[in-house]
Amino acid sequence: MTLPMIAVPTDKRDFDGYTWHAAPHQYLEAAMSVSGVMPVLVPAFGDRLDIDALLDRVDGVMITGSKSNVHPTLYGQEATEANGPYDPDRDATSLPLIRRAIERGIPLLAICRGIQEMNVAMGGSLATEIQERDGSMDHRAPESEDPDHRFAIRQAVTIKPGSCLADLFGDGEIQINSLHRQAVDRLGERLQVEAVAPDNTVEAVSVRDAKAFAVGVQWHPEYWAASDETSAKLFRAFGDAVRDYASRGMQQAAE
């Protein structure tokens, strides 16, 4: 069976004297094995890319996490070394891709850095070093050489009643693995809050009146998607939306 394809914008990294366009394995594995879709990497070429031509050929978009942060000048703030590292080529690729996917009604799943890109793409802003705010939890990963420990499921989030994630998980709390030092500050236009942490940090958003699945989460469902049912539900829902979009495209092509 031919799998529907999703676009995954890459980071731009330098290794051993070469410049690489790369994406983390865990996201690609979860998309392929749990969502049942074929991830296609999109190089971070910014406005050199024909976004509409790309979206004509895929049935979904997934925005991954990364060590880099969205450049603060994109939401009206000053860049500092402490707020980095940055990846402006990824910003120039992912933000227009997010906006156009939403406009065209192409399924979108945005994770960690992805939810922050989604918020900025829709006109919102970000708060950084949120662990320093009065009353805030420390959302950063614990220091450990063991990635299973750093990405352990240890935090509750509350799903907003009546939200699209409530349709998926039900109202109330779910347990997730959120680790970050930035978060949504001013909410972007057309976005609505789907879930919050105990300190009211935004942990998930969706697009109001979206034509298709369009969800961003601050946590890391990709890491445990093969073994944690909550994580798997999100990837399966995304996969279902991608297949629905693909089937509608095939029906239109046949007419």
Catalytic residue numbers read 112, 220, 222
The alpha carbon of 21 is separated from its chain's Cα centroid by a whole number of angstroms, namely 18
User: What is the distance between the alpha carbons of residues 82 and 3, in angstroms, rounded to a whole number?
Assistant: 42
Pairing assessment for the beta strands 11-15 and 18-22 based on DSSP bridges = antiparallel
Mind giving me the DSSP string for the chain? -PPPEEEEEPEEEEETTEEEEE--HHHHHHIIIII--EEEEE---GGGS-HHHHHTT-SEEEE---SSB--GGGGT----GGG--B-HHHHHHHHHHHHHHHHHT--EEEETHHHHHHHHHTT--EEE-GGGSTT----SPPP-S-HHHHT---EEEEEPTTSHHHHHH-SEEEEE----SEEE-SPPTTEEEEEE-TT--EEEEEETT-SS-EEEESS-TTTTTTT-HHHHHHHHHHHHHHHHHHHHHHHHHH-
CB 145 within 8 A of CB 179: no
